[in-house]
Amino acid sequence: MRPATALALCAALASTALLTGCGKETAGSRAASPGATCASPTPVDDPSGRRWDNARVISSDCGPSGAPSTGFEVTNTEKEPLTFTITFTLLNGFGEAMDNTTRTVEAVPPGQTVRRPLDAGDGPGSARTRQARIIKVRAVPAKEASDAGACPVSGVRITNDRGDAAMGLRVVGIVLENCGTTDYRLDGYPALQLLGEDREPVTGVDILHGTDKISTGIGGSDAPQPVSLRPGESARATLAWRNTTTEGDPVNAPYVRVTAKPGATPVTVTPELDLGTTGRLGVGPWTKTPLT
C-alpha cells in the first residue's frame, strides 16, 4: 500500500493530467487515470446531406490536450490496392468555408479501412481542424498512381497541372518528369483513355492530335519532335477542349489513363475533363519543358 502522502500527491497531480508514476495513459487516449480510454471516432455528417461510399470525416475527443480532433477514413471496397486523393473544404467555427486542402492515402489494401488525422496547420483544437467537409474523392489503382513520393520503377512520374479556363475553353497540361537515373526519350503524342467517375471507359469522344481544332494560340499544335530528357528534366503535353453544352448529355471524364509512349506503363491522372456535349479533346505532342 502507498503512503498517504503519495496518494494525496497523485490526487493533486490528477487535476492537471500530470500522472507520472500514478497511472498509465493508454495509446490514443487523452485520459490520465488507469484504465481510462477515449471514445472511438464517430462520423461527422455533412450539412448538405451528401455521403461518400468509401470516405468520411470522423471526429474524436482524443486530440492534443483533450481538444476535439478531426480526421478521416477511407475504405477500399475493390479487389486491388487503391491510392485515394480526397479534397476537403475546411470550415471555421461558424460553418463558413475558409480553404480547401487535399490528402493522399497510398496503396490501401482491398477490404481495408485506413484512418488519418486531418491537421489543417492551425494548431491543436483550432476551429478549422474541428470541421471539414469532403467535396471530392478520387481513387486510382495503386499500380497506376504517380505521386510525389519515391520515383516509380519506370523512372518517370506523370501528373497533370491545374490548368486554365476562360470562356468555356479548358487547357490542362500532362507533365512527365524523368525522376530516374538514365535518359528518357519521347517522340509523338501520349496515348489517352478517358475514364468516368466509376473508372469505366468513356465513349463518344474524338481524341484529336493537335489542339488547333479546339483553339489557336494555346500551344500543342506543332508537329511532334523527338524529345530526350535527362534525369530531373520534364516534358509536357497540352490537352484542350471546350465544355459547351447543347443537345444531349454532357460528358465528364475525371480520370485519364496516360501511356507516355508505346510499351510504357499506363499512369492514371485526374485532370477532371468536363467535355460538355462537344465530343472532342485535342492533345498536343510531348514538348520539353524549358529550364528556368
Split into its structural domains, the chain has a count of: 2
1 lies in some domain:
no
**Span 158-216, pLDDT tens digits:** 999 988 877 789 999 999 999 999 999 999 999 999 999 999 999 999 999 999 999 98
User: Could you say which of 110, 143, 176 is where a domain stops?
Assistant: 143
What is the distance between the alpha carbons of residues 185 and 227, in angstroms, rounded to a whole number? 6
13 lies in some domain:
no
3-state secondary structure of 270: coil
Q: How many other β-carbons are positioned within 10 Å of the β-carbon of residue 155?
A: 16
Examine the domain organization and report whether 122 and 178 are in the same domain: no
**Span 80-92, pLDDT tens digits:** 999 999 999 888 7
DSSP-assigned states of every residue in 190-220: -EEEEE-TTSPBP-S-EEEESSTTT-SSSS-
Range with lowest mean pLDDT among 90-99, 122-131, 152-161: 122-131
pLDDT at site 63: 52
Parallel, antiparallel, or unpaired: how do β-strands 280-283 and 206-209 relate?
Answer: parallel
227 lies in some domain:
yes
Examine the domain organization and report whether 96 and 178 are in the same domain: no
Examine the domain organization and report whether 164 and 255 are in the same domain: yes
**Span 269-281, pLDDT tens digits:** 999 999 999 999 9
What is the distance between the alpha carbons of residues 146 and 256, in angstroms, rounded to a whole number? 12
167: CATH? 2.60.40
Maximum distance among all Cα pairs of the chain, rounded to whole angstroms: 88
Look up the domain containing 90 and give its range: 26-143
Fill in the amino acid letter for 160: N
User: Could you say which of 143, 174, 194 is where a domain stops?
Assistant: 143
Model-level pTM? 0.78
User: Cell 463518344 sits at which residue?
Assistant: 204
**Higher-pLDDT residue of 127, 81:** 81
